[in-house]
A and B are shown apart, each in its own frame.
Chain A
């Protein structure tokens, strides 16, 4: 009897540390943010009342044109970088999946981790240097081609592109690694059989490899979408949301409200709306893209 009870509690005891940690660092701040989003909460006015104001903050956010503009800009960014990262990532994964070139392949795989291990802020600083008008390496390449220097970070469209390029640089390797893992899941005998049937790599990709890649692609879509919705450091360091508001993505705007204006009520409402949006998108991705491989 006693043993049975212990056995029943043992699994709970094992997962308890993880669950408690998750509650403390995940759920508690979330609940606090939800509560704050229903209050008037100006950090810099400690004496002002912190009353509950119902859905006022949400109404303010939803009728704020700047919020919608920066959200729209974030989706433009997402639609620009995600397909490129997926395409480049898939290309790299397929190249690395090819047999042969043992040492080189291992080295490449290791070097793919480097951008991932770099802090966003550092990527932003590197970006400022790469796209510097006077000393930047990009303009140097342009000059080799006889092209005039471009003021990358001083013009809205090019600044947007520069931030996107840095994001693609940093995250394409991640996509490549995830997809490479997918490719190694393909049973070799099936792949070999397919290679005997057809010489078209496209057909092999479409019918043999893609089903194994879909879970990875879904994960990439979910993670990268969530990442871009909260992309802050890179943009803040590179352009601070400027010039004008050309690179003010949604999280840069939220930071501005939360930590410059210090209106935590509004900022929390924005963050909660963003969370809801992320969840909806994730569900969509899972429904539309994700397929289990039937063995």
Chain B
């Protein structure tokens, strides 16, 4: 008997028992769909996070308080960075074009009887070029505002909508932590950066933030949460890193372990890549386990099927089927189940990935290697888990098989 006949026979058997065939395939379908969706989502997350940092431009550097080691030791973030540090970098590091110290915290906001809590970001006008951000309406605060501690605020677009609907907020008073601030502008809509919705935030001069809102200061001066720096151009990033590191060490009188960390965009991308790569791997591993379980499901059902079809096998042997004919027939059944399950699972996985892309900011991609691996593995699983039941079937003694009623 040739393969075409065996395949026809297998299809006939499988379609005669549609419910069982479908249920058997379900394990493989779910396994496959999850492999493809998970890998797609993982890679989407990677692409998303990388995109966020890439959008900052290759010239950007971040200075964050505490050494890598210190942050590993404790969740308590040391308050070692100050506004004065930022000013020193700005005035003394020649390869730097813009320095934006940022001091941020969650604070209650109100306008009339409308209230909310959101991120209040104290910064300087350099924030705009460093983050490639701009106002949509009105103006951003100026160096003068920073020097004078003025109580002016620029609203993120979501906050503006929340408080003023479609009215013009410029010139209105809102209260931050119960202190009056005059609205001077609205930021353009920018979406989230690393999970923080930048539109659901308000921006005030960093001096006002420090003096009126947060109130506390670092032992070294006016505390900032972190400092974003733009190097003059891409070529001067490493020079800038070297220079500002030396400057800060000098200012902080450091002899051994740094009390700050400098990250370039490249570092950040690397970290993001490591984290999301591990995430993708973990998701893929979980999905692979479900694929494996699906394979065991196939073996289980095939074994039951062999037992249930003992008489059929006996009859086939009596009328001339060889061991190999029986083996091939059962193998093909297992392979069809797993391959079809693989294809359906892939289709669902691709659908899932498309859905995730459409409904979340993760631009999940359909990974061709993931599809090939998943379909190949599921076919292999059919082969692997089909062999044992098929051999059981082929081994049956026709006399015994025919008499088992």
Our verdict on whether A and B bind, yes or no, reads: no
